[in-house]
Structure 1
Amino acid sequence: MVSHTSDEVRGSLYIVATPIGNLDDFTKRAEQTLRNVDYIAAEDTRHTRRLLNHFGIEAKLFSVHDHNEKDKAEYVASLLSEGKNLALVSDAGTPLISDPGYHLVSSLRALGHKVVPVPGSCAVVAALCASGLATDQFFFAGFVPAKSKARRDVFTSWAKQAGTVVFYESTHRIYDSIGDLQVVYGDQANLVLAREITKTFETFLSGSPSQVLQQFDEDANQMKGEFVVMLNLSLPEEDESLQEARRVLTLLLEESLPLKQAAAIAAKFTGGKKNQLYKLALEMQQD
């Protein structure tokens, strides 16, 4: 069992953050918690077993992942009711942050069980604090859609978002995602990409979408790994009308409308001039 403290309650679920790369980031409290709980609920038991073996921790493991957590909630609740202490871990970082656990924690809290955070590594926070972008307000979007049209729709919805926008992306889609950001916002977006945070090849790339794409083209290795993408959309006031026109045209062109028709419709919505919007649509189509 977990070492007794004055406020310990038996039958608690501990949400334990694990390293996202560098094993030295494993906190003493997290290690001690995993060493002493009765059971560990893991996103992938094989992955977690490697971590436990590294630290010499013996534990009873069972899996809780996206496809079974609703079913496992009743089982976990029964163990807590018996006075067992459990820990929830994901493959890396803080559970529930774009990882499984929401349905489990929500249902357990509704039943009155105690849920205790054991904080530690979190990729979004680690990347953001070293990005140089504003941190007083930020919006975390998790993973964006895999399909280009749906992804552009999400990007477009961020136009009025205050502060820094943060999302996760995979090595297989990072180039196309930055390309879609360029289509939606042109080079007005200020990007910082954090790659392989806390790992051997940790890298920060920055610039406009076209500048980041150029860095990818010059060195394909910069597209390898797991990415935290951060962007500032605080556009200059004089460019707001242009950005609005670009967003409207993006949606219209995705419907395969002729350029003249798209420009005419965009002019009605934005109050812009049709000939200027036609030139903008032509540039966007060429991009």
Structure 2
Amino acid sequence: MKKKKQKFKPSFGTAEDNDGVRAKKHLGQHFLKDEGIAEQIADTLSGSNYSKVLEIGPGMGVLTKYLLQKDVEVHVIEIDTESVAYLHENYPALHGRIYEQDFLKYDLSQVFQQESYAVIGNFPYNISTQIVFKVLENRDLVPEFSGMFQKEVAKRICEKEGNKTYGILSVLTQAFYEAEYLFTVPPSVFNPPPKVDSGVLRLRRKENYSLPCDERLFFRVVKAAFNQRRKTLRNSLKTFDLPDSLREDTIFGQRPEQLSTEAFMDLTLKIQPYAISS
């Protein structure tokens, strides 16, 4: 039976303004103050194929409280000392599972070894793309990933070929995950309010997420293609020094935004015999 798509109905402005921790501009902090949205973000997790969840940047725990109500073991990682102190004082259920660390630099195997876990959060805009790439690096252990981004970034991650916002982040993420944009969140539900809308998305790892081509070459091809996105692949991939006979293939006459993730895999397979050792 086909599962009915979940509908999201944001309820804005239902919570009081946050008190206790000062938002720090250099950390990109914007504290969510809407309880309804926090609960909906927590509900984006299915709980399938994992029993542990890692929340990135919990701040004062507006999302954390709803994660703790679920049948999962919640871990949080937070770089802000003031927020860490607040979490220790107000969320005793997290004892031993609060990590005062930089997520981008932290070795997650210290926490989860080889156990699967989901990743969730209200992500700082200034490092959200880097967070996605780190999740991709750890995809063998992350079957599900959801949370809030700057709307433009969330849309880009979920975008399909044929659109101007489709790019490196779209292709590399969708090579391994099914991406779904869920709902938009206005600036008014944050303290302090950001200058742009936010967007909530969900990534669910594909059942078969191993690539049919060389993975490192796939990343190189995608990045080289979009670094000169206005050019055809015949021109943007010149650095691969491919033979003229291959470059006459019709796929090289297209621009990168015209290719689906699967088409990029096929392209990589065509290039692979010539470029795998370069």
Q: TM-score, normalised by structure 2?
A: 0.38
- Normalized per residue, the structure richer in helix is 1
